[in-house]
Amino acid sequence: MKLIHTADIHLDSPLSGVAEPLRRRKELLSALENMANYARHTGVQVIIVAGDLFDGSALASTVRNVADIVKGSGCTWFVLRGNHGDSSPYDLLANLCSQEVKFFGDDWTKYECADVTICGRELGHDDADKWNELQLDPSRFNVVVLHGDVDDPAYGLIDKKAIARSGASYVALGHRHAYAEYMFGKVRACYSGALEPRGFDECAQTGFVEIDTEKRTVGFVPQSVRSVVTIELDISSVTGDISLERKILDGVADVDTRNYLNLILVGETQESLHVQAAANSVLGGKFFALRVKDCTRPAIDTEALKREVSLRGEFVKLTEDIQDEQLRADVLKMGLAVLGGEDPQ
Whole-number pLDDT of residue 301: 65
Whole-number pLDDT of residue 37: 97
Buried b (16+ CB within 10 A) or exposed e, 308-335: eeeebeebbeebeeeeeeeebbbebbeb
pTM of the model: 0.85
Whole-number pLDDT of residue 109: 97
Whole-number pLDDT of residue 343: 61
Indicate the fold that domain 2-222 takes in CATH: Purple Acid Phosphatase; chain A, domain 2 (3.60.21)
| Phi-psi map region of 285: left, alpha, beta (phi>0 left; psi -120 to 50 alpha) | left
Whole-number pLDDT of residue 276: 87
Largest CA distance in the chain: 84
**Nearest by Cα to 137 from 169, 159, 109:** 169
Supply the DSSP symbol for 309: S
Sheet holding 76-80, edge to edge: 101-103, 76-80, 46-50, 2-6, 207-212, 217-222
**Nearest by Cα to 210 from 32, 11, 10, 35:** 35
Low-confidence residues of the chain, pLDDT below 50?
Answer: none
- Counting every residue written for the chain, the total comes to 345
Residues pairing with 144 in the sheet = 119, 171
Residues of the chain with CATH 3.60.21.10: 2-222
Tens digit of pLDDT for each residue in 276-314?
A: 889 999 999 999 999 999 988 877 667 777 788 788 788
Tens digit of pLDDT for each residue in 310-331?
A: 887 888 888 888 888 888 877 8
